[in-house]
Every structure is written in C-alpha cells, then in structure tokens.
Amino acid sequence: LAPSRAPVVRGGTTRRRVPAARILVPRASAEPVTSLAAELASLVARGSRARDDARVIAIVDELERARPPVNPCALTGAYEVAWSDGTMAWRALVARGVSAIAGRSRAGQWFTPGTPGRALNFAELFDKSVVITAEGTFRPKPADADAAAPHEVARDARYPIGFDVRIERGDVRAFGRRWALPIRGPGEFQMLYGDADVRVFRSSGGVAVQVPSDWQRPAEDEE
C-alpha cells in the first residue's frame, strides 16, 4: 500500500486523506502446493537422474510453511523412503550399498486407519531375503485430533501434524525362519506434508520423503 500523502489545503480548509485499511496477506509460496509436491515426487523417484538435495530441502521447507489441509490419502497404505537427511541418511546409504551388492533394499511404513490406527515399519534387504518389521499403534497428538474421535485427525487439521506411536512387537525373517525382536515402547513423529503421491516425515532421526510402495506384509501376518 502507498503511504498516506500530506494534507491538501484548498480554500482555507484542510482535507485529510483517510488512509486505506491495511490488509495483511499471509506469506504464500511462490508455487502452488500441488506443483511443489509433484516436483518433490519427481525429484526423489527411483531411477531419477534429477536428484538435487538442495532443491528437495527447499521444497520440504516450502510445503511445511504453506500449511495445506491434511489429505486423508496420506494416512493409509504403504509408502517407502525415497530420500532422507539427518541421521536417517545412513539408512539410505546402507540401502544403496546393500543394493549394489545383493539387489534391491527398501524401508517404509504402512498405516491402517482404526481406533487406534496401526503402524507397521518394514525393511527389506537382499531382494526380500531378509524382512524386518516393527508394529504398533499410532494416533494424532491432542492438538491435531478430532475432539469427538481422539484417534482420528481433525477434519480441519493442517500440516504439519504430530503423532504418538507405541511399538508393540517386531520380528526378522531370513532363510525361511522367523525371530521375534525385543522392541517395544513409545515414539513420535510429524507429518510435514502428505498426499496420494508423496509424504514427508520428521522424527528424531531427521526428515524422510516417502512415495507409495507396492510392499506387501508376509502372508502369515495378514489378518
């Protein structure tokens, strides 16, 4: 808005220009959220030669600042890690190293809505020869939960949203055998953004960008 001008004197009277009301416009991304999310999914896609870590980080920051409404599509199904930083990055490095020696490796999460929702963390090594899983429940933090249904995200919630997790059990399968893992306890994470094609997590380990996965849990685990 242009600054107010000095009073204008005409015919011995003073006419004061009344300043127009100031309108505060929230800071918006230079690009629409959908375009940013599509670019992010493309950058981290498997086999992409356009990997640009600085641009990935910049897009993640823009998406977090934009605070779009929560998309329920991101709260169900399996997604796998396509890019990560912070202390999570070592997992990606290990996965790439293992893949170079013995084929594809991947890790991710499978969410199943419910009361409470179920969360299954998975990791595959050596072209599915070794499968590690950890399973438990997840629910939105009170600030992001529906007042009438605290296990569900509020309908008007906006990213980022926080979740509490409680791991109940885990196991590892290899060489036709299965061993229980002594892992259980609480945890938490934030979903900075999510839609049907990409979602972004932040936890104590750093930031991870995930894309939809065709991973299927072992048949003996299916209910």
Mean pLDDT of the chain: 82
Beta bridge partners of 81: 210
pLDDT by residue (tens digit) across 23-35?
333 444 446 999 9
Query: Which pLDDT band holds residue 157 (cuts at 50, 70, 90)?
Result: very high
Identify whether the C-beta of residue 200 lies closer than 8 Å to the C-beta of residue 191.
yes
d(CA 221, CA 116): 19
Q: What is the mean pLDDT of residues 30-46?
A: 89
Whether the model clears a pTM of 0.85, i.e. scores above it, the answer is no
Identify whether the C-beta of residue 133 lies closer than 8 Å to the C-beta of residue 124.
no
Taking the CB of residue 120, how many other CB atoms lie within 10 A of it? Answer: 18
Give residue for tokens 């969360």: 119
Q: What are phi and psi of 214, to 5 degrees?
A: -95, 15
Please give the C-alpha separations between residue 193 and each of 74, 136, 164, 165, in angstroms, as whole numbers: 8, 22, 17, 18
| DSSP code string of 89-133 | HHHHHHHHHHHHHHS--EEEEEEE-SSSEEEEEEEEETTTTEEEE
At residue 155, does pLDDT exceed 90?
Answer: yes
Residue 50, pLDDT score: 63
pLDDT by residue (tens digit) across 73-101?
999 999 999 998 865 544 544 545 544 55
Both structure tokens of 37 = 């999310």
